[in-house]
Amino acid sequence: MMHPNIGLNEETRNQVSKKLSFILCNQFILYIKTLKFHWNIVGSDFKPLHLFLEEQYEELLKIVDEVAERMRALGHVAPGTAKEFLQYAEVLENAGENPPAKGMLQILLHDHETIIRIIRKEVDATMELGDAGTNNFLCDMMERHEKMAWMLRSFLE
Ligand SMILES: [Fe+2]
């Protein structure tokens, strides 16, 4: 593989890629959970919630794709197996659980907030490592998660 000659040394690119990989694994688990709840949600608000969750999983898939491509830009390969996602993610799958609609939205909100806290930490870390590109990338991505979390929270109020 050709090494990117972009003013970031190999050690920095390794460290940043590990952070991105960790974020990606968490986001992919949340993507799967959002898809699953889109399929299984029930109740009198079925239609708007079903469509709302579709918007959210589509946004999450765009985000994980961007994270994987950022890893490639830093000269690394992206994780892409369910086994790796499960092994490294802090977000839990909650296999077999299909709570009532409100419970589903609470779970998704909780997971977005977990991911936002992880990203916020890595925003500071990438700044310290001097990777302005990833820092900017993560700042924007954190805002997108914050917006999704706000929308979930609004359904719950
Ligand atoms: Fe669908």
Q: Where are the domains of the chain?
A: 10-156
Tell me the CA–centroid distance for residue 60 and ligand 1, in Å: 14
pLDDT of residue 2: 83
- Kindly state the average pLDDT of the residues 50-71: 98
Tokens (6 digits) for 90: 């802090």
Assign 15 a pLDDT band (cuts: 50, 70, 90).
very high
Quote the CA–CA distance of 122 and 118 in Å, as a whole number.
6
The closest alpha carbon to 19, from 102, 120, 151, belongs to: 120
Percentage with pLDDT > 90 across the chain: 97
Quote the CA–CA distance of 51 and 142 in Å, as a whole number.
23
Q: Which amino acid is at 93?
A: E
Q: Is the pLDDT of residue 76 over 80?
A: yes
Tell me the CA–centroid distance for residue 146 and ligand 1, in Å: 23
Tell me the CA–centroid distance for residue 42 and ligand 1, in Å: 14
Answer with the residue of higher pLDDT: 1 or 131.
131
Tell me the CA–centroid distance for residue 116 and ligand 1, in Å: 26
Q: Is the pLDDT of residue 154 over 80?
A: yes
Q: Which amino acid is at 138?
A: L
pLDDT of residue 138: 98
Q: Measured between alpha carbons, how far is residue 106 from residues 35, 39, 44 in Å?
A: 15, 16, 17
**Angle of helix 101-129 versus helix 132-156 axis, rounded to 10:** 160
Tell me the CA–centroid distance for residue 14 and ligand 1, in Å: 37
- 10-156 has CATH 1.10.10.10 classification: no
Tell me the CA–centroid distance for residue 53 and ligand 1, in Å: 9
The secondary structure of 18-40 as a DSSP string is HHHHHHHHHHHHHHHHHHHHHHH
Tell me the CA–centroid distance for residue 23 and ligand 1, in Å: 25
Tell me the CA–centroid distance for residue 38 and ligand 1, in Å: 7
Q: Is the pLDDT of residue 1 over 80?
A: no
CB atoms within 10 A of CB 50: 17
Quote the CA–CA distance of 150 and 132 in Å, as a whole number.
27
